Structure 1
Amino acid sequence: MPMAEESRAPSVWVRPERARRGRPALGRTQIVDAALELLDAEGLDGLSMRRLGTRLNAGATSVYWHVANKDELLELALDRVMAEVAVPSGDGWRAAATGYARSLRAMIHRHPWTVTLFGGRPMIGPNATRVLDEVLAAFGAAGFTGFDLEYAWSAVVDYVIGAAGSEASWQRAQPGTSAAQWVENLGPYLDRLDGERPGLASHIREIWMKETGDVLEGRFAFGLACVLDGLEARRPPAR
């Protein structure tokens, strides 16, 4: 079982690793690899310490040697996938912000279980801190400082998490179903809307019916451009 004092640690990254003597052959990397396989296949509900031990053909003691509880395991898994997020450099703050936003969105699509973890625990692992340091440098180069710097990058990341999370949720809940098929399946309900809310019924038929990957991309690009336009209007003038 996990040790009580370890379970109270604010983050796996601040809890000292246990002494090497007596350490089981199973390593932290193997544990995180197996956890990611479960998370990507089945989401957060599919991951448990018991199932992880079974997948690794190891007892719970071997897993608890490296992580005190499931929260610490999720911290490690989240930091691992943050390694996939890139922040371009060299073409100005807006290009860096756009590249970062698209990279983060792509990561969320590959690992939709991450959405509800953002903000839940401190992201202070090596990959997350690398990304944050690069993002802050990009927005700092735009002239943002202090709290404005925090607000600026947060506006972008919050938009991406919301947009990509919604996209990933739809794909997970409606696998293999196109928007046109979904609208067609509304059947009598949509017919009733014609009389009750004709404007909405028309919009569903004219817009939702035609939603494709290109439309989703256009919606994301439009929203991101609006966020960046707003930040451009607020950033300090160049000295």
Structure 2
Amino acid sequence: MKSIIEPLPIGKILGSVAQYSVAYCTAVGQISADLLLCVAATQLLMHYDYIAHCIETYRIKSKMVTNGVKHDMEFLRNIIIYHEKLLSLSDMLNDVFGVPLLVNFMSSACLMCFLGFQLTTGVSTEILLKLLLFLFSSSAQAYLICYFGQKLLEASAGISNAVYIHNWFEADLKYKKMLVQMARRAQRPAVLKATVLINISNVTMTDLLQISYKFFALLRTMYN
């Protein structure tokens, strides 16, 4: 009596194993790169917030203690050096992740466009759920990067606000002049960049959705 269950071909088994392995490695690679970017951006955020906190809570000592002017100048000098190092680290972050971010946003725009188009062509319920989940994950990945880009921009720009808040009016004239230079530099905040083409912030997510929708509308017009 022959067996009712036919054995699977070895080629099909190997193909399935290879397919799942490639999908797993691709997902892990994308998630790892995004998590590394988020961790690096979070570290920069913490340092920018720390600088802003130090400036806000510092009390001018020029009129309070002996050698107060010297103490104030030493504090400001250390803060400026700290700030310059952070700006250098921000540039380094853009050098490392600039090209991958550009490729990520281009691929996300194409994915959202084609997934939206496929959803409107009429698919089964099972495929529909898979496409919706894929669309959500692609959008969430892009939004996560835009979120940290916006936070980095706000944290670095917050240093200029901290400079204005603290009691600089009691300081020495030389201290005030150096403080003006620092505030002026902080008004050009650190920005997460996808090369020189895209400055990443919450506005970038809106632009990405608009571009995806434009291509989606073009595909629908050509399809009809």
Q: Is TM > 0.5 for Structure 1 vs Structure 2? A: no
Higher relative contact order (CA 8 A, sep 6+): 2
TM-score between the two structures when normalised by the length of structure 1: 0.26
Larger Rg: 2
TM-score between the two structures when normalised by the length of structure 2: 0.27
Higher share of residues assigned helix: 2
